[in-house]
Chain A
Amino acid sequence: MNKPLIWMGQAVLYAALAAVILVFTRWPSYQNLPADSALIKLSISHQGKVLGDCVEQTPEQLAKLPPNMRAPVSCPRERSPLTIEIDVDGVLAYRQVAQPSGLSSDGAAVVYHRIEVPAGAHAIEVRMKDDARSEGFDYTRSETVTLAPAEILVVDFDAAERRIILL
């Protein structure tokens, strides 16, 4: 093949490669969330209450243990699972029972869930239960929020204040 043909052929192929790179490096644009929607991000990492009470050990029980383990009270380490429900505009939008992490189920239970809602005002109610021995939900929070398009509402739990927070 003669030189000019080679040059032209190569130019076409290089241009084709350049075009492919330039196009797919930014197109088609990705619609991460439908237009005019907002996002409720439920993200809670929380240690439930321990499942049982500490028990005082009788002298006989203590005697059976090796000397270095003779603690006068024995406390169970297993934690309660976390139950979370969220209503949006009076309808249950999500419910999860999250088991505690860790080999002896003594770690935090983690909930992470995304709920897409139309932008605008919504009545939100979040209920959480972290104690298997109590009746009903231990924490509830209801609020009406107005979400702009693409706005994120984070639902979290503040362990220090012991309350559900909306950010």
Chain B
Amino acid sequence: MRSGPVRAAWLRIEETIDPLFPGGTNPLRNLGALACLMFAALLLSGTYLYIHFDTSTDGAWPSINRLSDEQPWLGGLLRSMHRYAADLFVTFTLLHLLREWVLGHYSSFRAMTWLTGVPLLAFMYVSGIGGFWLNWDVLGQYAATASAELIDALPMLDGTLARNFLDSGAVSDRFFSLLVFIHLGVPLMLLFGLWFHLQRVTRPRILPPRALMFGQLALLAAIALAWPVTSGAPADLGRVPVALALDWFVLHPLPLATSLSAPVFWSLLAILFGVLLMLPTFPDRQREPVAVVDADNCNGCRRCVDDCPYSAITLEAHPDGKPGKQIAVVAAERCASCGICAGACPSATPFRSVIELVNGIDMPQQSVDSLRRKLVDDLARAESAPVVVFGCRHGMDVEVNRRIDVLGYNLLCIGLLPPSFIEYALRGGAAGVIVCGCADASCEFRLGNQWTRERMLGAREPHLRRTVPPDRLRVMMVGRHEQGQLDAAIDSLRQNASQGEIA
């Protein structure tokens, strides 16, 4: 794992506010979903605004203004929400990008998701800036002329776009319809692009957890009610709009371009997009071995396909030729090397009486066989009944030898753990078992702790046998620095075990 100072600082911030947002509702861990939520709010409120919008140069301003004046509780509210949702959309999207960048989430199996995210940025800004044109107040006038001047500065174009804004007569209704078309068409492209963006992400969290979603929508409605958005004076092309109340979230590229000069602005923008698009070619970590399928031990049950967080597994005809039988096939370039599939496979049960435990699908760097061997050896060597802790190497380090009576195993992901290993450890003499995954919504592979929890509860295959006594097992999803919680769990298991002995 790379651990630069920026990455460490970001994780520190996330972990600091984790206690305030229980159950995976930490907004910093849900930025993509928050951006989607704001986009949905924009589409819905925008539809209402469009129904009441007059798409002519003279009709636009009054039609929007009427919404605020005549129906403050519906049109006016939706109008204000549309504006603030745009501000929040930009904020969440930029933070989402920053987070994925800082955490190094741009290369190998994530390269496609990263690359399809980059154009969304451009669509976002064009949609946002284009929204201000339609209002056709002084702010819209500024946004439109400044955008046109900026586009005119591009080589290849004939440079006459800004001439459309020379005087009021110049802005024909036809040209104004073109502006409307941009503000409708580009968001649709964004929606389509979003679909591409999420192609490689299985079960993406498109909406945030309920508490966060309601909180965020309540915030949006509250600021829209308390500080409604109103129009500036109608556009007047004979005068420069001065002292503008600029929306810096959406419109910042325009003054930036003015202060840098258009050619410098375009050059920097080209460099920025170049860097974003080149980033996947410079991975910040080594590629790890990917999942490997063993034909003799795969019966095509599909569990790994269902659990893989990056749609890296498909089923094909089994090489043994039995009609209808299938086999899992891993697409190496999509595989995240998380091992969640290994934990899903029915062949992973350590009770099988084979010398080498070959799993249907397995990780060469941490096979279930190596895990069983280690566990067996360690249990045999232990002097008194130890507590076995399965952890994740992206989360709290459970291997550091804190206590002599604890056996810790850092897995590639907590989802790699076949539930049968818990029973196996208990039968092998463990006093208790702790399954210690990463904090909610912080799984490096998104779904590892969710699948683990469901497997433990019996809600997902392979499930934990009900014969495992609940007082011998703890399942906890905690942050990297919550050693105290782990110690408490160890103590309580130990206590249960000693009470069991007395009884």
Residues in A lying within 8 Å of B, measured CB to CB: 1, 5-6, 9-10, 13-14, 17-18, 20-22, 24-33, 35, 38-39, 41, 43, 45, 101, 107-108, 110, 112, 149-152, 154, 156, 167
Contact = CB atoms under 8 A, between A and B. Distances in A.
Nearest to B167: A167
Interface string B209-243: 00000010001001100010000000001111111
Contacts of B241: 32, 150
B135 to A, nearest CB: 14
Interface stretch (B156-164, B290-298, B350-358, B490-498): B156-164
Contacts of A29: 243-246
A21 B84 contact: yes
Contacts of B162: 43, 112
Contacts of A32: 142, 240-244
B477 to A, nearest CB: 15
Contacts of B27: 13
A25 B89 CA distance: 13
The 9 lowest CB-CB distance pairs between A and B, nearest first, are: A9-B20, A26-B245, A30-B246, A110-B159, A24-B248, A1-B19, A30-B244, A150-B240, A33-B240
A6 B26 CA distance: 12
B158 A24 contact: no
Identify whether the interface residues of A are mostly helix, strand, loop, or mixed: mixed
Contacts of A14: 215, 219
8 contacts: A9-B17, A10-B21, A25-B247, A26-B246, A32-B244, A35-B242, A43-B162, A167-B167
Contacts of A31: 242-243
Interface of B: 17, 19-22, 27, 83-84, 87-88, 91, 142, 149, 152, 158-160, 162-163, 166-167, 215, 219, 222-223, 227, 237-249, 255
Contacts of B83: 25
Contact of A10 (B20, B166, B167): B20
B480 to A, nearest CB: 17
Nearest to A10: B20
A151 B142 contact: no
Most chain A CB neighbours (cut-off 10 Å) among B84, B149, B166: B166
Contact of B248 (A13, A25, A149, A154): A25
A91 B88 CA distance: 49
B237 A152 contact: yes
B166 A110 contact: no
B158 A108 contact: yes
Contact of B87 (A25, A39, A43, A156): A25
Contacts of B167: 154, 167
Given A13-B17, A112-B159, A151 B239 contact: yes
A55 to B, nearest CB: 30
B244 A18 contact: no
Nearest to B247: A25
B242 A150 contact: yes
Contacts of A33: 240, 242
A112 B157 CA distance: 13
Contact of A18 (B21, B142, B222, B237): B222
Most chain B CB neighbours (cut-off 10 Å) among A1, A13, A18, A21: A21
A25 B17 CA distance: 26
Given A13-B20, A32-B240, A151-B238, A21 B87 contact: yes
Contacts of A9: 17, 19-20
